[in-house]
Amino acid sequence: MDRRAWEERARTEDAKDPLSAYRSEFYRPLETIYLDGNSLGLLSRPAEAALLHALDEWRCLGVGGWGGGDPAWFHLAERIGALEAPLVGAEPEEVVAAASTTLNLHQLLSTFYRPDGARRVLLCDPLNFPSDRYAIESHLRLRGEDPAACLREVPSRDGRTLSAADILASLGEDVALAVLPAVLYRSGQLLDVRGVTEAAHARGALIGWDLSHAAGAVPLQLHDDGADFAFWCNYKYLGGGPGAAASLFVHRRHFDRTPGLWGWFGSRKDRQFDMLQTFEAASGAGAYQTGTPHILAMAPLLGALPLIGRAGITAIREKSLRQTSLLIEMGDDLLRPLGFTVGTPRAAGQRGAHVAFEHPEGARIARALKACGVVPDFRPPDVVRLGPNPLYTSFSEIARAVLRMLEVVESGVYLRHAAERDEIA
């Protein structure tokens, strides 16, 4: 298909896009095609208003915001949890906003990793975001377990994806806990959360999911799928802003557990200000908080989450699949002859919301794209990730971005850029 035909197809898709009105709700960097929503989502007008509202409350109420804010800051973490719950298929009390993704994983490991007799293995994978791996390994060390004996990785046959067969084969009777990503951060592979959760349980293991690349991008059913816990960041598809507080999910059937790490914000709300020296955990996911919630790093979510809720996760996913299809089809047609490989699974049920284009000169190409107004990101060794967000990316922008990628490689312009990766990409 020639270039104009791809642009025409993109225009046709835009014309029938039911979510096109949401684009104007976002601040889009001028003359830029922003395809890095899978790293940091753009600021929406409701998120901005919610943050300004919190600042106003700080200005006008001072400490009174804890009780008199709207909503009261004292309950904000739980309130955000309740707003997020439908997006991840959870009950309101099963989700809370707290800390960072990595710290929440530490908290959840301290609670759910319970080695017992021969069942001591913590199962992870070699393709997960490194911070998860660091948390897992350091946790094992802290507990006096030997990572060489207790840490198992599901092997990856192609360095991009995990196969269901290999996950099942790794889930031996010695696995106490598995921690896996629902969507892999590099290839964008979407795992079968329900199937893997059921398999883990059938073998007597617990399982927790990193939803950082899934929450707000693909519909999830954490409660019904029976996941034991999950954790994710709020700055990608959920629009909470740089360094936004993260979130976690704990299945209701675990509400009788006491969290591993205690802090006063995990207390029963009605007793927290009794200031007793004995810890009484809150009854839901709120118990997994520790210190004072980061109000200003949560406030934007009060605007962003209802916006996502209005658009609806089903419509978001439907458009996202059409957008990633366009990327993959254009990649196959135009970029493959230039040495690109699509590293993302093609089946709709097996891919998340971004597409990985692999190229030996990926670092240079990503730089060249940024220099001409397309913002992708680069993940070593060779992946240029393109992450459209259905709420603010148009199909025409996607087509233009792929055509620019074609141009920077065809023209050799990318060779003018350094091959070293950016420090912050």
Residue range at the interface with ligand PLP (CB under 6 A); choices 7-15, 95-103, 155-163, 353-361: 95-103
Classify each residue of 162-184 as buried b or exposed e, where b means 16 or more C-beta atoms within 10 Å of its C-beta.
Answer: beeebbbebbeebbbbbbbbbbb
Instruction: Provide the minimum distance between the beta carbon of 8 and ligand PLP in the complex, in angstroms, as a whole number.
Output: 35
Strands 175-181 and 121-124: parallel
Q: What is the DSSP letter of 334?
A: I
Pick the closer one to ligand PLP by CB: 104 or 396: 104
CB closer to ligand PLP, 213 vs 417:
213
CB of 64 to ligand PLP, least distance (A): 30
* Residue 129 within binding range of ligand PLP, rule CB under 6 A: yes
Range 235-264, binding ligand PLP (CB under 6 A)? 246
Sign of CA dihedral 303, 306, 311, 316: positive
- Greatest pairwise CA separation for the chain in angstroms: 71
Closest separation between CB of residue 259 and ligand PLP, Å? 18
Q: Which residues 6+ apart lie within 8 Å of 318 measured at CB?
A: none
Contacts within 8 Å (CB) and 24+ apart, 250-253: 250/94, 250/108, 250/284, 250/285, 250/288, 251/94, 251/222, 251/223, 251/226, 251/227, 252/91, 252/93, 252/94, 252/223, 252/284
Task: Identify which range of 9-17, 209-217, 348-356, 393-401 contacts ligand PLP by CB under 6 A.
Answer: 209-217
Angle, CA 19 vertex, CA 14 and CA 25 arms, to 5°:
110
One-letter identity of residue 338:
L
> Dihedral sign, CA of 335, 340, 344, 345?
positive
If the CB atoms of residues 25 and 210 are measured against ligand PLP, the closer one turns out to be 210
Do 344 and 351 contact (CB within 8 A), yes or no? yes
Given the complex with ligand PLP, which of 328 and 425 has the nearer CB atom? Answer: 425
Establish if 290 lies at the interface with ligand PLP (CB under 6 A). Answer: no
Residue 189 backbone dihedrals phi, psi, to 5 degrees: -65, 135
Q: How far is CA 63 from CA 67, 80, 244, in A?
A: 8, 20, 21
Shortest Cβ 51–ligand PLP spacing (Å)? 18
- Tokens 């954790």 correspond to 231
Q: Which is nearer to ligand PLP, 234 or 394 (CB)?
A: 234
Under rule CB under 6 A, residue 102 binds ligand PLP: yes
- Cβ-based nearer residue to ligand PLP, 19 or 246: 246
Left if phi > 0, otherwise alpha if psi is -120 to 50, otherwise beta: which for 279? beta
Among 26, 34, 185, 357, binds ligand PLP (CB under 6 A): 185
* Residue 210 binds ligand PLP, judged by CB under 6 A: yes
DSSP E strand boundaries for 183-288: 206-210, 229-232, 246-250
Residue count, binding to ligand PLP (CB under 6 A): 13
101 binds ligand PLP, rule: CB under 6 A: yes
Of 7-15, 97-105, 192-200, 408-416, which part binds ligand PLP (CB under 6 A)? 97-105
Residue 233 sits in the site that holds ligand PLP (CB under 6 A):
yes
Residues in contact with 327: Cβ distance below 8 Å, sequence separation at least 6, in sequence order:
355, 386, 388, 398, 402
Is residue 11 within 8 A of residue 395, CB to CB? The reply is yes
Verify binding: residue 100, ligand PLP, rule CB under 6 A.
yes
Q: Which amino acid is at 136?
A: I
Output the CA torsion 70→75→81→84 (10° steps): 0
Q: How far is the CB of 88 from ligand PLP (least distance, A)?
A: 15
Applying CB under 6 A, does 181 fall inside the site for ligand PLP?
A: yes
CA separation for the pair 359, 335 (Å, rounded): 10
Binder of ligand PLP out of 111, 170, 187, 212 (CB under 6 A) = 212
Q: Tell me which residues are annotated as active site.
A: 129, 210, 235-236, 385
Span near ligand PLP by CB under 6 A; candidates 58-66, 87-95, 164-172, 208-216: 208-216
Quick one: which of 20, 110, 131, 272 contacts ligand PLP (CB under 6 A)? 131
For residues 212 and 323, which CB has a smaller minimum distance to ligand PLP in the complex?
A: 212
Q: For residues 304-333, which are near ligand PLP according to CB under 6 A? A: none
Stretch that binds ligand PLP, among 11-19, 127-135, 187-195, 269-277 (CB under 6 A): 127-135
CB of 101 to ligand PLP, least distance (A): 3
* Residues in contact with ligand PLP by the rule CB under 6 A: 100-102, 129, 131-132, 181, 185, 210, 212-213, 233, 246
